[in-house]
C-alpha cells in the first residue's frame, strides 16, 4: 500500500448516510477537542447529511443513544457486542 493516498474531495451536494458512527459516546476527560454531540449532529444535517446510524457497544452506550435520539429525526441505531 502506498504511503500517501490521494483521496478526492466529495462531489458538490453529495448526500451522505453515515452507517456507522458513535454519537453520542463517552468523551475523553482530557484533551477533548471535538464539538459537542449535539453540534456534530446538527452539523451533519446542515452540511447535507441524510441519515445517521449510530452504533452501541454495550448497555451503557445504548442508554446514552436512547436518550440522545429522543425527539430527533434522521437518526437510528444498532447494538452489538464484539467477541
Each residue's pLDDT tens digit, 59-70: 888 999 999 999
On whether residue 31 sits in a domain, the answer given is yes
On whether residue 5 sits in a domain, the answer given is no
List pLDDT tens digits, range 18-67.
999 989 988 888 888 889 999 999 999 998 899 999 999 888 889 999 99
On whether residue 49 sits in a domain, the answer given is yes
Helix%, strand%, coil% for the chain, nearest 5: 25, 25, 50
pLDDT score recorded for residue 22: 87
Domain of residue 55 covers 16-79
On whether residue 6 sits in a domain, the answer given is no
On whether residue 36 sits in a domain, the answer given is yes
> What global pTM score does this model have?
0.76
Which helix H or strand E contains 21, and what residues bound it?
Answer: strand 16-21
On whether residue 48 sits in a domain, the answer given is yes
Average pLDDT over residues 73-83: 87
Dist CA 82 CA 23 (whole Å): 18
pLDDT score recorded for residue 2: 63
**Tally of structural domains, the chain:** 1
Amino acid at each position: 500500500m502506498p504511503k500517501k493516498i490521494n483521496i478526492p474531495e466529495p462531489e458538490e451536494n453529495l448526500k451522505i448516510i453515515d452507517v456507522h458512527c458513535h454519537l453520542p459516546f463517552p468523551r475523553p476527560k482530557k484533551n477533548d477537542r471535538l464539538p459537542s454531540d449535539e453540534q456534530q449532529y446538527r452539523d451533519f444535517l446542515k452540511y447535507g447529511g441524510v441519515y445517521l446510524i449510530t452504533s452501541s457497544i454495550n448497555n451503557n452506550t445504548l442508554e446514552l443513544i436512547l436518550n440522545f435520539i429522543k425527539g430527533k429525526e434522521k437518526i437510528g441505531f444498532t447494538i452489538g457486542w464484539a467477541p
